[in-house]
Structure 1
């Protein structure tokens, strides 16, 4: 009969059941679509073109299979490149990619993919809310007496 030490080591050597999520994942990312708008000719789009040719976008799309990745070529003059994300809650967020380096564009894409899509709420001191009414009461224009001329 093997000693308990050997049993313990044998149980550690055995493959553990996989805890990785199956293909039917119950949770999906809030970002459902990522769109890259760029032009082939404008100068401010140079970084986006390098980003697309480097294959970084394909790698990001492979990392996030539940997010649809779309590349749209724009022929409108005077528009800067954009990265737009559409979220499950119906909101969209846009980031300008004007004159950005490809690595910076990848960071912006990850920023949008990891975002929840919720509206940004400013962090400031909350207003004062009292549980008791004012001593003077609530003012109304109908409470004023008629003015004597």
Structure 2
């Protein structure tokens, strides 16, 4: 009897009725904002990127990501890519004087990113799952000294 149970648990799972194209994965990036200017020289690569149709292909490839193109006419502002993530964080990348292929690579970097903070690898912070033996210190717990 035990061998039947073991064989049954090791058996291959039954094929699901859901189509293979549907997936439960959701990209962490929910919005990609491209800001540029029509006059400034450092925006030349961004204007070429927008004119080449790569933005439309990017939007078709990632339908769950909202792609926004905004014109920025403030003087002294360089072109930027900004990713807005599901965890509420944003990441900005300056794409000043980059060619369209470089801008596409940076956009892909934002789309593949999780939006989490960068943590140092050398010395990770210590996080405990148990409370301190002494408890949490507070100045209000200290006895009055005379």
Judge same fold: TM > 0.5, yes or no: yes
Cα root mean square deviation, aligned? 1.7
Moved segments of 4+, more than 6 Å: none
Cross-structure match for 2:120:
122
Aligned to 1:70: 68
d(CA) in 2 for partners of 1:68 and 1:37?
14
**Are residues 80 and 18 of structure 1, via their aligned partners in 2, closer, same or farther at CA, if it must alter by over 3 Å?**
same
Distance in 1 of aligned mates of 2:74 and 2:33: 16
1:54 alignment counterpart: 52
Give the Å deviation of 1:18: 4.6
Ranges in structure 1 where 5+ consecutive residues have no aligned partner: 1-16, 129-149
Map 1:123-142 → 2, pairs under 5 A = 123-126=121-124
Q: Give me the whole-angstrom Cα distance separating, in 2, the residues matched to 1:126 and 1:111.
A: 24
Q: Distance in 1 between matches of 2:24 and 2:125?
A: 39
Distance 1:103 1:77 in 2: 25
Report deviation, 1:58: 0.7
| TM-score (ref. length: structure 1) | 0.69
Looking at structure 1, the residues matched to 115 and 53 of structure 2 have their Cα atoms a distance apart, in angstroms, of 26
- After superposition, where does 1:67-106 map in structure 2 within 5 Å? 67-106=65-104
Structure 2: stretches of 5+ with no match in the other structure: 1-17, 127-146
TM-score of the aligned structures, taking structure 2 as reference length: 0.71
User: Shift of the alpha carbon at 1:27?
Assistant: 2.6
Alpha-carbon spacing, 1:28–1:47, altered in 2? closer, same or farther (3 Å): same
CA distance in 2, matches of 1:98, 1:70: 18
Aligned to 2:20: 19
